Amino acid sequence: MSKKTTASRRKFLKSAGLAAGGVAVAGVAAPSIARAEPTVMKMQAAWGGGIFLENAKSYVDRVHAMAGKDIKIDLLAVNSVVKTSQMQDAVHRGVLDAAHYVPAYWYSKSKSASLFGTGPCFGWSSQEVLGWIHYGGGLELFNELMGGLGLNVVSFFNSPMPAQPLGWFKEQIKDAKQMDGLKYRTVGLAADVLLEMGMSVVQLPGGEIQPAMKSGLIDAAEFNNPTSDRDFGMQDVSKHYHLASFHQSQEFFEVTFNKGKFEGLPGELQAILKYASEAENSNFYWHNTKRYAEDLEKLKGQGVNVYRTPDSVMVEQLKAWDIVVDRISAEDPFFAKVIASQKAYAKEVMNYLNLNQPDYKLAYNHHFG
């Protein structure tokens, strides 16, 4: 090869290199890489505002933080697209992509629904029921129920709620006999239990509770917690608030997705929807317990008398639960199957916890009286 040819080639390569460099620099400054559009999901919550809508938003925020621009969930307040009682059907049909609510809100489909959050107490709290869901066969039974009902949904459960108060009354309840004949608001299987105790039960959405009690449509009511009760203005229609009860001593949220929409996502995005639920599990308990404690003190400051529900009432609740569970189990083999699974889990796990947990109230009284 001649010197002239070599020099010419070097000149060509140098020019080509500069050109390539120019293109590369331009590419860094203004990339023309195509980005896939995010998957947009329309999720309706059963909450119009308040702390539960905050909780739903917290779940959505966790999904966004982990998924980046790959998923965008549009969170809609209660009744934005369909009524609360229609939410599960709307997700099944694809009218909604997802919903944030509790199983008791579709209890009319199957009494077994109430066992996934508002069932009988076998000595356990919401934390242990969620343990049963994830490690005791509960999720498999739930999916079996969905299949039996022909529902095209995938659900995750989170946010272990403290036991719900017995609620608001016109006078202090000192004995179970005082509850006989009272018109009372609750939902799910709790309605059957309190009917068994002689009460007249009305199932109302949260936002209708306070006006119903103010107008005399109901004599007494519960919703869920001191924060929501205070937001509803229950302190304006009653000054007698009873904490502790077995009517709904364990509950949590259900986040449900249209199965086709969910299974159409890449595996990593499906995992994000699932594990965001588990992450929200802890956040809910830490966040909400503190708020409930603060708002209970505010209610006291507004003249509310706060009592612990008498043991006599809670003993009668347990007896009523036995009657209701035995009656439905005799009619519904699947219901009986779920109850048997729950009892087996609770007997084993609570045996350990009851033996191991110290009496925290003893320590509390030692320090605070």
Average confidence score pLDDT of the chain: 90
First to last CA, the chain: 100
Domain residue ranges of the chain, discontinuous segments joined by +: 39-161+250-290
For the segment 56-82, the average pLDDT, to the nearest whole number, is 97
Asked if 132 and 342 count as a contact pair (C-beta separation under 8 A), the reply is yes
35: confidence class by pLDDT, cuts 50, 70, 90: low
pLDDT in tens, 8-30: 444 434 444 434 444 343 444 44
DSSP codes joined into one string, 67-107: HTTSEEEEEE-TTSSS-GGGHHHHHHHTSSSEEEE-GGGGT
Residue 274 clears pLDDT 50, i.e. is over it: yes
CA dist 332 and 338 (Å) reads: 10
330: confidence class by pLDDT, cuts 50, 70, 90: very high
pLDDT in tens, 196-233: 999 999 888 778 898 999 999 999 999 899 999 999 99
Residue spans of alpha helices (H) in the chain: 3-29, 50-67, 87-93, 126-135, 138-149, 189-196, 209-215, 226-232, 259-263, 267-301, 311-331, 333-356, 360-368
* 247's tokens: 């009517």
Predicted confidence at residue 10, as pLDDT, reads 43
Fold of 39-161+250-290: D-Maltodextrin-Binding Protein; domain 2 (3.40.190)
Predicted confidence at residue 90, as pLDDT, reads 98
For the segment 298-306, the average pLDDT, to the nearest whole number, is 98
What pTM does this model have?
A: 0.87
Predicted confidence at residue 196, as pLDDT, reads 95
Most confident of 22-31, 188-197, 252-261: 252-261
Instruction: Count other Cβ atoms within 10 Å, centred on residue 348.
Output: 10
Coil, strand or helix at 206: helix
* Number of alpha carbons in the 13 Å side-chain half-sphere of residue 1: 6
